[in-house]
């Protein structure tokens, strides 16, 4: 996925890297304008460290964008999975309530700028598929 992203973005201001986000991040304090987490935080048991590191590396006014499988789907037993041949592999996931994101964000110097729920066309009259949060560091 990193290689595909690199081909789509040709800006000198964008850095792609891999690492374990549950350990100390390699970036300097106040060195980033944007941190984004897409479909990853449900696989992290403790969110506070992630918000702490995002707050540390973001400049004042920097943005933290998070997109996750909607909690309503998790409440109904939905989990991230992938398929190899005909075998469905479930990935370990932890339930984080929407209020967890709001409260942990507030505890780490973030203000919620936007909250959105997302449906696919085939999901009409069903719970949302995804949820997203846009936080601003103050």
- pLDDT band of residue 125 (cuts 50, 70, 90) is confident
Domains of the chain: 31-91+106-138 (3.40.50.150)
Q: Is 100 helix (H, G, I), strand (E, B) or coil?
A: helix
Q: Report how far apart, in Å, the C-alpha atoms of 95 and of each of 11, 18, 53, 75, 137 are.
A: 35, 24, 21, 8, 24
pLDDT number for residue 43:
94
Global pTM? 0.88
CA 99 – CA 101 distance, rounded (Å) = 5
pLDDT in tens, 79-114: 888 889 999 998 899 999 999 999 999 999 999 999
- Strands 58-69 and 32-38 come out as parallel
**44-92 pLDDT, tens per residue?**
999 999 999 999 999 999 999 999 999 998 898 888 888 899 999 988 9
CB burial of residue 50 (10 Å; 0-12, 13-18, 19+): buried
């Amino acid at each position: 996925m990193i290689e595909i992203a690199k081909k789509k973005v040709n800006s000198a201001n964008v850095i792609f890297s891999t690492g374990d986000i549950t350990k100390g991040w390699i970036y300097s304090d106040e060195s980033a304008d944007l941190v984004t987490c897409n479909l990853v935080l449900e696989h992290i048991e403790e969110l506070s460290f992630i918000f702490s590191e995002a707050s540390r590396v973001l400049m004042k006014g920097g943005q933290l964008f998070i997109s996750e499988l909607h909690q309503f789907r998790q409440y109904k037993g939905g989990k991230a999975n992938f398929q190899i041949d005909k075998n469905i592999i479930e990935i370990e996931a932890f339930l984080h309530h929407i209020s967890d994101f709001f409260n942990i964000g507030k505890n780490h110097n973030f203000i919620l700028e936007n909250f959105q729920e997302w449906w696919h066309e085939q999901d009409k009259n069903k719970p949302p598929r995804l949820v997203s949060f846009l936080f601003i560091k103050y």
